[in-house]
């Protein structure tokens, strides 16, 4: 009997160590298990719907092969081949809204993630004081924050990556001319690595704001503003993350180059090599007279061809993840300074 008791006591601490090591992240997950199950169910439903949408669009295009080249490149889908207008309208009305609203959800998913981290995950615990109970169990504030960040980061890397990959696969089935609203420059935040990188930034910003504000509703409001401001700056920088192609001409260049081209800027080139973006010429003034009016030498247009999509996606994703790392580092600095 004694031997059995000794053996039991000698093995129990070792048996408990692995559970203790993973206990904090498990506790965070259990705290938000309802949200996690709802999110998992929605993820499964969205992926299933996107797979159906891809198969349905591909099947429709296979049954109507003329639709793949129905709209003339360079018109943005407004001028389609004769005899196919009814089929084009049918495709747009049947599948356009499905693709659009799925993309909108994916575009704004990072914002929702940041609000959740800022409010319910971080600020609410600091506001209610429940964090003290955890910290009293030999858990440091830094470990507590690491667990708070680990759970949404893993969820984003798994869930949002899968959703973005399936949406990109579905989005690529629709020719740009058929759904001009889904051109790559307008769908940039919905496809590829962009939604994942934006979600990681939103998590880091949400954690930092939650630590600073310590009140649930105000933290969510400030996180909304902070992430929105960063998002806007990223969109402003996006066209210049890699160098655009440039065309110079004496005549005014066409501003719509094709369904896969993104016009960044156009204007006039002065005789000294300077630029006049989007010059004002007045009503009824022709391109040649406008050049003379501004004492310019000709015209220029900067654009990104379709081949720039993925270099731009990965360049912005790298920049965004770098910003996320800075925000996360600031969050750990704040918790060390506030709760030494």
Q: List b or e across 241-267, with b for residues whose CB sees 16 or more CB atoms inside 10 angstroms.
A: beebeeeeeeebbeeebbbbbbbbebb
What are the backbone dihedrals phi and psi of residue 119, each rounded to the nearest 5 degrees, phi first? -90, -85
Mean pLDDT of 113-124: 90
Are 302 and 315 found together in one domain? no
Are 276 and 318 found together in one domain? no
**In-domain check, residue 326:** yes
pLDDT band with cut points at 50, 70 and 90 for residue 257: low
**In-domain check, residue 9:** no
**In-domain check, residue 107:** yes
Q: Residues 6 or more apart from 199 whose CB is under 8 A from it?
A: 109, 110, 113, 114, 156, 160
Mean pLDDT of 97-118: 94
| Residue 53 predicted with pLDDT over 60 | yes
Q: Output the CA torsion 257→261→262→267 (10° steps).
A: -30
Compute how many other C-beta atoms are within 10 angstroms of the C-beta atom of residue 8: 10
Are 87 and 231 found together in one domain? yes
Range of the domain at 299: 245-308
Listed range (31-35, 105-109, 142-146, 189-193) with the worst mean pLDDT: 31-35
Are 197 and 53 found together in one domain? yes
Residues forming beta bridges with residue 302, ordered by sequence position: 246, 265
- Residues 316, 328: Cα–Cα separation, whole Å: 18
Are 119 and 27 found together in one domain? yes
Are 295 and 233 found together in one domain? no
Single out the residue of 134, 125, 152 nearest to residue 214, CA to CA: 125
Mean pLDDT of 172-192: 88
SS (H, E, C) 81-145: CCCCHHHHHHHHHHHHHHHHHHHHHHHHHHHHHHHHHHHHHHHHHHHHCCHHHHHCCCCCHHHHH
pTM to 2 decimals?
Answer: 0.84
**In-domain check, residue 11:** no
Are 209 and 94 found together in one domain? yes
**In-domain check, residue 329:** yes
Cβ–Cβ < 8 Å for 241, 270 = no
Are 176 and 276 found together in one domain? no
Task: Please give the mean pLDDT across all residues of the chain.
Answer: 84
Report the pLDDT value the prediction gives residue 254, as an integer from 0 to 100. Answer: 66
| Residue 187 predicted with pLDDT over 80 | yes
**In-domain check, residue 148:** yes
**In-domain check, residue 55:** yes
**In-domain check, residue 65:** yes
| Residue 3 predicted with pLDDT over 50 | no
Are 120 and 176 found together in one domain? yes
Report the pLDDT value the prediction gives residue 284, as an integer from 0 to 100. Answer: 74
Mean pLDDT of 56-70: 86
Token pair of 132 as six digits: 């003290």
Listed range (78-87, 105-114, 135-144, 277-286) with the worst mean pLDDT: 78-87
Cβ–Cβ < 8 Å for 24, 134 = yes
Query: Higher model confidence: residue 266 or residue 13?
Result: 266
Cβ–Cβ < 8 Å for 195, 189 = yes
Are 165 and 43 found together in one domain? yes
Give CA 302 to chain center in angstroms: 25
Cβ–Cβ < 8 Å for 72, 51 = no
- Residues 195, 15: Cα–Cα separation, whole Å: 40
Are 292 and 236 found together in one domain? no
Report the pLDDT value the prediction gives residue 4, as an integer from 0 to 100. Answer: 44
Total tally of structural domains belonging to the chain:
2
């Amino acid at each position: 009997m004694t031997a059995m008791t000794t053996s039991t006591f000698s093995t129990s601490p070792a048996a408990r160590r692995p559970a203790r090591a993973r206990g904090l992240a498990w506790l965070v997950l259990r705290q938000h298990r309802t949200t996690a199950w709802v999110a998992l169910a929605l993820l499964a439903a969205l992926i299933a719907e996107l797979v159906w949408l891809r198969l349905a669009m591909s099947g429709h295009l296979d049954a109507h092969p003329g639709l793949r080249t129905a709209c003339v490149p360079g018109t943005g889908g407004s001028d389609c081949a004769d005899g196919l207008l009814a089929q084009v309208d049918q495709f747009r009305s049947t599948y356009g809204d499905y693709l659009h609203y799925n993309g909108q959800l994916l575009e704004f998913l990072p914002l929702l993630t940041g609000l959740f981290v800022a409010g319910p995950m971080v600020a609410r615990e600091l506001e209610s004081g429940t964090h003290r109970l955890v910290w009293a169990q030999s858990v440091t504030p830094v470990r507590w924050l690491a667990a708070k960040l680990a759970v949404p980061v893993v969820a984003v890397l798994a869930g949002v990556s899968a959703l973005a990959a399936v949406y990109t696969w579905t989005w690529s089935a629709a020719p740009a001319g058929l759904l001009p609203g889904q051109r790559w420059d307008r769908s940039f935040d919905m496809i590829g690595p962009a939604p994942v990188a934006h979600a990681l930034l939103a998590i880091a910003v949400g954690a930092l704001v939650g630590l600073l504000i310590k009140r649930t509703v105000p933290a969510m409001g400030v996180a909304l503003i902070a992430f929105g401001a960063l998002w806007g700056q990223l969109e402003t920088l996006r066209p210049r993350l890699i160098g655009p192609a440039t065309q110079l001409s004496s005549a005014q260049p066409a501003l719509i180059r094709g369904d896969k081209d993104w016009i960044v800027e156009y204007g006039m080139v002065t005789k000294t090599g300077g630029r006049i973006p989007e010059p004002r010429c007045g009503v009824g003034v022709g391109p040649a007279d406008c050049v003379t009016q501004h004492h310019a030498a000709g015209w220029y247009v900067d654009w990104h061809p379709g081949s720039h999509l993925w270099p731009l996606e990965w360049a912005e994703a790298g920049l965004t993840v770098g910003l996320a790392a800075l925000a996360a580092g600031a969050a750990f600095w704040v918790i060390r300074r506030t709760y030494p």
